[in-house]
Amino acid sequence: MAELVSGAAPGQQEPNRKLVVVTANSERYVTIDVENLHTVASLKDKFLEKVQQDIPEADIEQSDLFIFRTEIGDIGFGGHPLTDDQLVQLCLEDADSRGSVKLFLSRHATMEGWIKGFRT
């Protein structure tokens, strides 16, 4: 069962917050406020800080990270990873108080690589 981790009480929303929901395993989802994170480095640092425990590889760095759009309930991800510009634009323009933007973090650029990473 998927777990959503958030700092807000259930039912409470602050209308001006910019939240994204991040996962590294499609089981545990973390809500992150990106309101004051305006660079790729600050976004990736915060994402890694919150989900590193869910990434099977130790000592992952920003340069090792691939970020994909996903939805709660999807297993893994598909398509191409977001570019740095796409990630910043998505977080600045589409993040909202409801956490409508959901991201999957992986050390692998393909779903096949991600699956192999869990098996080794």
Confidence band, pLDDT 50/70/90 cuts, at residue 2: low
**For 21-37, how does the pLDDT look when each residue is reduced to its tens digit (9 = 90+)?**
999 888 899 999 999 99
- 68 vs 13: CA distance, rounded Å: 25
- Give the global pTM: 0.76
**For 46-103, how does the pLDDT look when each residue is reduced to its tens digit (9 = 90+)?**
998 898 888 766 566 667 788 999 998 886 666 789 999 999 999 999 999 999 999 9
Mean pLDDT of the chain: 80
